[in-house]
Amino acid sequence: MKVGLIYISTTPELIELVEEEVKKQLGDDVEMLSLQDPSILADVREASYVTTAPAARLIGMYMKAAEEGVDAMLNLCSSVGEVADCAQDAARYIGVPIVRVDEEMCREAVRLGSRIGVMATLPTTLTPTKNTVARVAREAGKHVELVDCLVDGAFGLDQDQFRARLTSAAEEIIDKVDVIVLAQGSMAYAEPHLCEHFGKPFLGSPRFGAAELRKALERKGLI
């Protein structure tokens, strides 16, 4: 079994966490093809939204993974989740599912509460994640209130500084929400600390994405 891991920005912590979660779901023998193109996120950050060129490069990464023989792939950046959505018809046609890392996380947030905090270190991730939460809430027939939490200055910090910065930012909204989603996969390693510190659910996306990747492979009859 071979899966594609599609990154447009990554850190050693994110790679380690994603591969750990994928192995939990699929076993140690799973073959993982990692494709990375940090220029996509750089272009999205510069324009403040996903423009034609980075979207086209990302779709090209999906097609390259398919050509390399993956059975399914995991899109690992929420900033470009809507590109993964638009590629679903092609994915179905070629028989290679594209799984968004964040969608099931957003569904879980809607199940857990009606006041949902969305925490991100980049504005280009905040809006797409809010859009996804709103969409899955609408699909569930549930009204939710979204509370923004943009953590300025956290992108690129070391682990201890990052946890401290997220903790400080979360304190500003924690009494206003039932649950907080961590919009970027790279934030997920702070999830256990934040849950323990505040006693409320914080949701990181990699574990949800890996579980959905397994379900996609089950639907193909590979598991």
Cβ-contact 194, 170 below 8 angstroms: yes
Rounded CA-CA distance 116/196 in Å is 18
Three-state secondary-structure class, residue 223: coil
What is the reported pTM? 0.92
Helix axes 205-219, 103-112, angle to 10 degrees: 110
Quickly name the fold that domain 2-101+207-219 has. Rossmann fold (3.40.50)
pLDDT of residue 159: 84
Average pLDDT score over the chain: 94
pLDDT of residue 99: 97
Write out the H or E segment, with its range, that includes residue 9.
none
Whether residue 9 has pLDDT greater than 90: no
pLDDT of residue 10: 80
Q: Could you report the per-residue pLDDT of 106-151, keeping only the tens digit for each?
A: 999 999 999 999 999 888 889 999 999 999 999 999 999 999 999 9
Q: Could you report the per-residue pLDDT of 74-95, keeping only the tens digit for each?
A: 999 888 989 999 999 999 999 9
**Average of pLDDT values for 32-38?**
96
Whether residue 12 has pLDDT greater than 90: no
pLDDT of residue 134: 97
CA atoms within 13 A on the CB side of 30: 28
% of the chain at pLDDT higher than 90: 83
Cβ-contact 76, 21 below 8 angstroms: no
pLDDT of residue 126: 92
pLDDT of residue 189: 87
Architecture of domain 103-204: 3-Layer(aba) Sandwich (3.40)
b/e string for 145-170 if b means 16 or more Cβ within 10 A?
ebbebebeebbeeeeeebbebbeebb
Whether residue 30 has pLDDT greater than 80: yes
Identify the band that residue 105 occupies on the pLDDT scale cut at 50, 70 and 90: very high
Mean pLDDT is lowest, of 7-16, 59-68, 96-105, 200-209, for: 7-16
**Average of pLDDT values for 32-47?**
94
Q: Could you report the per-residue pLDDT of 140-172, keeping only the tens digit for each?
A: 999 999 999 999 877 677 888 989 999 999 999
pLDDT of residue 79: 87
Q: Do domains 2-101+207-219 and 103-204 have the same CATH topology?
A: yes
Domain ranges within the chain, ordered by starting residue: 2-101+207-219, 103-204
